[in-house]
Structure 1
Amino acid sequence: MKLLTACSFSLLSLGLFVADAAEDAPDPKTLERPAEKTSASKPAESPEVKPKETTGLVHVEGKELRYAAQTGLLPIFKEDGTVKASVFYVYYAAVDASGEREAKTAAATRPLTFCFNGGPGSSAVWLHLGGLGPRRVDTLLDGRTPGATAPLVENPNTVLDATDLVFIDPVSTGLSRASKGENEKQFLGVEEDIEAVADFIRLFCSREKRWTSPKFLCGESYGGIRGAGLTQFLQTKHGIYLHGLQIVSGLLNYQTISESSGNDLPYILALPTLSNIAHHHGKLAAPLQADRAQTEADARTFATGDYATALLRGNSLSEGDRKRIAARIAGFLGLSEEQVLEQNLRVNRWQFRKLLLKKEGKVFGAYDARVLADDLTGDSAAPSFDPSADFLRGPVSSSINAYVRETLQFESDHPYRVMAPVPWNFNQYANRFVSMEERLAEALVKNPRLKVLLQVGRSDLVVPQDAMRFSVNQLPLPKSLQGNLRFEEYASGHMMYFHLPDAEKFREDTVRFIRDACK
């Protein structure tokens, strides 16, 4: 995949999902009341959907946890008071023995986490029915091919015992839509998206009386960009100061992952991840295969040392040094020296998915490199699909559509857009890479109590773990605040909660993070 600038790049451009992108306004079947007639001087407000209320229970750590589930469409208003979009959400709140929401009597102490995935163009279904919610799709990325459909089961690794949860589908994803006559493009951009999600959070806190609650954001993938920008925007625009920001397999700076001419940083940062993947598939020589952690550490030292220096030298590198560096790369990646030289010492992540297991006729996933599939692409340079994503889409899509309509009882004829191939506006960042590093640093300086949890997967090729490590090391922070950020590492990939051992650790790390941030 060729990435020219951050202006044209999105994680969605990997081509891992295809979704219906038809423009459609909020479903008239779900409208509670007709619009009231008003004078010409006062624009009529669009009718709103009455939220649906259901209840459920889940067992967490051997205890029964009862909860209320609320689904609805929250309006995004224009300056004149008319509705320009409706944002679909699912809100889970723990309830007491009488069925009363705990937050009703303890709003100041009951945490609240707003959750979203990335894309851009992704609904929140992955975190919702995979990681954090009280129900999960009964399928795992454990080497087996999931079925076309899968049942929803209790999620014993939900974090609902530690925090209430709100899953947000940004405009044009899930069941969220721009209003009739409104151009959805006004929401499809870095800054436009941040402002719209911030408006949702502000209004939600008002309507649900959660202004005094300890508040958290959880963003995955591009959700790292959104989450960091939101954290700063909520402070400056709405006076909402968060207790914590959780970034799952996310990024803060597109330069760290955009393999493009003149940008060697992604090759340096990806090398430890590529080595981990080669180790997982047993492709390293015996000394390197013996100790994964040590090999990863050695690969990182080489990447930021001799390898980075070699790339900086470019054509001035002697032929002998060039071959020496190629041999070191080949050793860490399980490739031949010739393969590395053919790529000019820069092993493309997407082509690596095909090169490593070429003799076996297999390719592995980008979202989770442990997941294999037959190679159907012949002599092409890179795989045509991603088994770690495509294997999940069917069961996840069928599950969320059934769950929303049947269990949560929210009626809509609109398609639930799991992933929407939206055109994203990066124009504010023309001729530079999108970065939220400075804005996150600003948010931390202005709110020294803010804590940040960064969760990375060793088998994630979409956002290699060292991309986030690099960004954190570049944050312009005083030493007194550097301890506010904590890393947690997992064996699997981008959506580590679909791997059972990692799902358990994911819960433990998240619950500890929330409770520590509230002390």
Structure 2
Amino acid sequence: MRPLHSLMIGLLTPLLLASPLSHSADIEIEVDSPSAETSIPAATEFVTEHSGTFNGQKLRYRARAGETYLQDENGEPSAAIFSFDYVALNDGKDRPVTFVWNGGPGSASLWLHMGTFGPKRVVVPSDAGHAGAPPYPIVDSTETILDVTDLVFVDPVGTGFSRTLGEHDGKEFWGLTEDAESMAAFIRRWLNENNRWNSPKFLLGESYGTTRAALVADILETEHRVALNGIVFISQALDYAGSTPYVADNLISHITYVPTMAATAYYHERIDAQGASLEEWVQSAREFAVDELLPALFKGNTLDAEDRLRVRDELARLTGLTPEYVERANLRVRGNRFAKELLRDEGKIVGTLDGRYIGDPVDDLTARADFDAASNAISGAYKAAIMSYVQSDLAVNWDRRYLSPADPRLSDEWNWNPKGRDADWEPHWVNTSHNLVSALEANPGLKVLVASGYYDLVTPFFDAEYTLNRYGITPDRVDYRYYGGGHMMYVNEDARLELLRDVRAFLEEQLR
């Protein structure tokens, strides 16, 4: 790999950002600066120039780490959205741009930023080992997709350096709809400030970031008339019925988790695969889950004894659990309990974010893991990497705290009601699949790439198939890809390279 040479050209430069962001407005109205009455300083940015080689292509690019101000209905600044923008120099104003965010809700963009898609990345053990103590290797990410698209990594309000302004409170932005509206407003403002309305546009989100991306796509396509060229879902989470294993009567999750449990048992050699490949083993689990387990669970206590024994034993065989445990679970094995049960005889747990990781809890008798082995293994490395990188390479010299984890109020005050915080509604699973369908209906050229890790016990890959295969979306508009990792599959080096190749190919195909 060729080294990335950084040429620092700027430190702190005030940026005056304005223009009202009404969802129905088609015309941007420029104002000079925030009102003097608000006592809100101008937005802050840090600008540097760099050069590097990405996918064999030499590139000079500008890095802007800075705030973009959103405005309320009175035209006053309401929030400062901080983003990390990587824009190629002298490559034309219509170059593609991809807006990237992580999930949570409440996660800053450091995972995708420092994991693989930014120009630098942190290296953690590819074999699911613990990253240990610092220093951590921060290297050039020469395989990333900067050769085909500019990149904008976005931190929602209450994460990273993003904050509310003036008298505004985080609760105005902390919610399913509120969050998506703020991200759509940010994109409109960014396009306007950078004269990029005619650029090809992509969204790339991970986990809850896919929930957000479906909503944002709908808002952009149907309300703002901003056409997108493609969406990349990493660890898809649109319909939460298939990714909520801790609700006892949620039959859907008892089906969608089976292939991931089977893959994890295969990885840890807790099953007799009889020479089957991982893909073959997973396919057997898919077929069993739909053709045998689902009808059995639907029948409930009317299932006859012979069929029950057959289903019980096959579920145990595929997942590496004992028939006795499956029986006690009433054929309903919860994915979060599986993480503790698979290696119980060794006193170990497997990670939920990535089932390849192993943890050693003090309490060997607990029904479920009290911590996530994967998160414990890599979180320290990612936090250290982003803080070191933005200070040294991006010249971010600021005393503002980088919120990762998020503002401590965010989780408790998040509004899951799609109709608004104070509106009446019939409780149901979070589901933004209909929003994706709406965006696809509005834009016949829009397509989706779905990237899933085989060992993801948070957003199982079979849930992505279950979700996107049942809303009338034609198969040619969704491309499924699978990797030998978990929720953040890019911590596995082979998976990281495969993911980048697949995303690059998807972008290039959509651009054609």
Q: With structure 1 as the length reference, what TM-score do the two structures score?
A: 0.87
Once the two structures are superposed, residues 377-432 of structure 1 have per-residue CA deviations (whole angstroms, 9 ceiling, x without a partner) of 22111112112112111111111122222321223222212232523101236511
1:443 to 429, 439, 448: 439
Match of 2:24 in 1: none
Query: Compared with structure 1, are the counterparts of its residues 286 and 231 closer, same or farther at alpha carbon in structure 2 (3 Å cutoff)?
Result: closer
2:253 to 241, 263, 266: 266
Give secondary structure in 2 for the equivalent of 1:293. helix
Matches within 5 A, 1:156-167: 156-167=142-153
2:487 to 473, 491, 494: 494
Give secondary structure in 2 for the equivalent of 1:448. coil
Match of 1:89 in 2: 83
Once the two structures are superposed, residues 419-461 of structure 1 have per-residue CA deviations (whole angstroms, 9 ceiling, x without a partner) of 3252310123651111111211111111011111100110111
1:398 to 378, 381, 384: 384
Given that 2:55 and 2:145 are in contact with CA atoms closer than 8 Å, whether structure 1 keeps it comes out as: no
Give secondary structure in 1 for the equivalent of 2:346. coil
Matches within 5 A, 1:322-401: 322-401=308-387
2:116 to 101, 124, 131: 131
Match of 1:203 in 2: 189
Given that 1:353 and 1:364 are in contact with CA atoms closer than 8 Å, whether structure 2 keeps it comes out as: yes
2:476 to 475, 480, 483: 483
1:269 is displaced (CA, Å) by 0.9
1:321 is displaced (CA, Å) by 2.3
Q: With structure 2 as the length reference, what TM-score do the two structures score?
A: 0.89
Give secondary structure in 2 for the equivalent of 1:87. strand
Match of 1:503 in 2: 496
1:463 aligns with 2:459: yes
Give the residue type in structure 2 aligned to 1:248: I
1:434 aligns with 2:430: yes
Matches within 5 A, 1:132-211: 132-149=117-134, 150-211=136-197
Q: Whose RCO is larger (CA < 8 A, sep 6+)? A: 1
Match of 2:67 in 1: 73
Given that 1:46 and 1:82 are in contact with CA atoms closer than 8 Å, whether structure 2 keeps it comes out as: no
Query: Compared with structure 1, are the counterparts of its residues 141 and 215 closer, same or farther at alpha carbon in structure 2 (3 Å cutoff)?
Result: same
Match of 2:218 in 1: 232
Given that 2:266 and 2:273 are in contact with CA atoms closer than 8 Å, whether structure 1 keeps it comes out as: no
Q: d(CA) in 2 for partners of 1:163 and 1:337? A: 51
Once the two structures are superposed, residues 92-112 of structure 1 have per-residue CA deviations (whole angstroms, 9 ceiling, x without a partner) of 0123xxxx4x2xxx222x110
Given that 1:45 and 1:81 are in contact with CA atoms closer than 8 Å, whether structure 2 keeps it comes out as: no
Match of 2:52 in 1: 58
When structure 1 is superposed on structure 2, of 125-134 and 278-287 the one drifting more is 278-287
Give secondary structure in 2 for the equivalent of 1:182. coil
Give the residue type in structure 2 aligned to 1:500: E
Give the residue type in structure 2 aligned to 1:57: S
Q: d(CA) in 2 for partners of 1:159 and 1:405? A: 23
Q: d(CA) in 2 for partners of 1:74 and 1:383? A: 40
When structure 1 is superposed on structure 2, of 386-395 and 461-470 the one drifting more is 386-395
Give secondary structure in 2 for the equivalent of 1:359. helix
Give the residue type in structure 2 aligned to 1:134: P
Q: d(CA) in 2 for partners of 1:34 and 1:348? A: 51
Given that 2:13 and 2:44 are in contact with CA atoms closer than 8 Å, whether structure 1 keeps it comes out as: yes
Once the two structures are superposed, residues 325-356 of structure 1 have per-residue CA deviations (whole angstroms, 9 ceiling, x without a partner) of 11110000111100101111111111111111
Give secondary structure in 1 for the equivalent of 2:84. strand
Q: d(CA) in 2 for partners of 1:48 and 1:182? A: 16
Given that 2:78 and 2:164 are in contact with CA atoms closer than 8 Å, whether structure 1 keeps it comes out as: yes
Give secondary structure in 1 for the equivalent of 2:281. helix
RMSD: 2.1
Give the residue type in structure 2 aligned to 1:139: V
Match of 1:280 in 2: 267
1:360 is displaced (CA, Å) by 2.0
Match of 2:103 in 1: 118
Match of 2:41 in 1: 47
Given that 1:225 and 1:252 are in contact with CA atoms closer than 8 Å, whether structure 2 keeps it comes out as: yes
1:462 is displaced (CA, Å) by 0.5
Query: Compared with structure 1, are the counterparts of its residues 117 and 430 closer, same or farther at alpha carbon in structure 2 (3 Å cutoff)?
Result: farther
1:46 is displaced (CA, Å) by 3.0
Given that 1:243 and 1:449 are in contact with CA atoms closer than 8 Å, whether structure 2 keeps it comes out as: yes
Q: d(CA) in 1 for partners of 2:346 and 2:504? A: 41
Q: d(CA) in 2 for partners of 1:153 and 1:334? A: 38
Q: d(CA) in 2 for partners of 1:432 and 1:286? A: 39
Give the residue type in structure 2 aligned to 1:138: V
Give secondary structure in 1 for the equivalent of 2:458. coil
Q: d(CA) in 1 for partners of 2:389 and 2:341? A: 40
Once the two structures are superposed, residues 441-495 of structure 1 have per-residue CA deviations (whole angstroms, 9 ceiling, x without a partner) of 1111110111111001101111000111011111233x4xx31211111011111
Query: Compared with structure 1, are the counterparts of its residues 185 and 508 closer, same or farther at alpha carbon in structure 2 (3 Å cutoff)?
Result: same
Q: d(CA) in 1 for partners of 2:55 and 2:209? A: 29
Given that 1:31 and 1:48 are in contact with CA atoms closer than 8 Å, whether structure 2 keeps it comes out as: no
Given that 1:76 and 1:199 are in contact with CA atoms closer than 8 Å, whether structure 2 keeps it comes out as: yes
Given that 1:376 and 1:384 are in contact with CA atoms closer than 8 Å, whether structure 2 keeps it comes out as: no
Q: d(CA) in 2 for partners of 1:173 and 1:363? A: 30
1:246 aligns with 2:232: yes
Give the residue type in structure 2 aligned to 1:426: W
1:197 is displaced (CA, Å) by 0.5
Once the two structures are superposed, residues 480-517 of structure 1 have per-residue CA deviations (whole angstroms, 9 ceiling, x without a partner) of xx312111110111111111101111111011111110
Match of 2:421 in 1: none
Percent same amino acid among aligned pairs? 35
Once the two structures are superposed, residues 65-122 of structure 1 have per-residue CA deviations (whole angstroms, 9 ceiling, x without a partner) of 3321111011110111111110110000123xxxx4x2xxx222x1100000000000
Query: Compared with structure 1, are the counterparts of its residues 365 and 33 closer, same or farther at alpha carbon in structure 2 (3 Å cutoff)?
Result: closer
Given that 1:458 and 1:492 are in contact with CA atoms closer than 8 Å, whether structure 2 keeps it comes out as: yes
Given that 2:15 and 2:44 are in contact with CA atoms closer than 8 Å, whether structure 1 keeps it comes out as: no
Stretches of structure 1 lacking an aligned partner (at least 5 in a row): 1-28
Give secondary structure in 1 for the equivalent of 2:392. helix
Q: d(CA) in 2 for partners of 1:55 and 1:148? A: 31
Query: Compared with structure 1, are the counterparts of its residues 360 and 113 closer, same or farther at alpha carbon in structure 2 (3 Å cutoff)?
Result: same
Give the residue type in structure 2 aligned to 1:507: L
Give the residue type in structure 1 aligned to 2:272: A
Q: d(CA) in 1 for partners of 2:322 and 2:433? A: 37
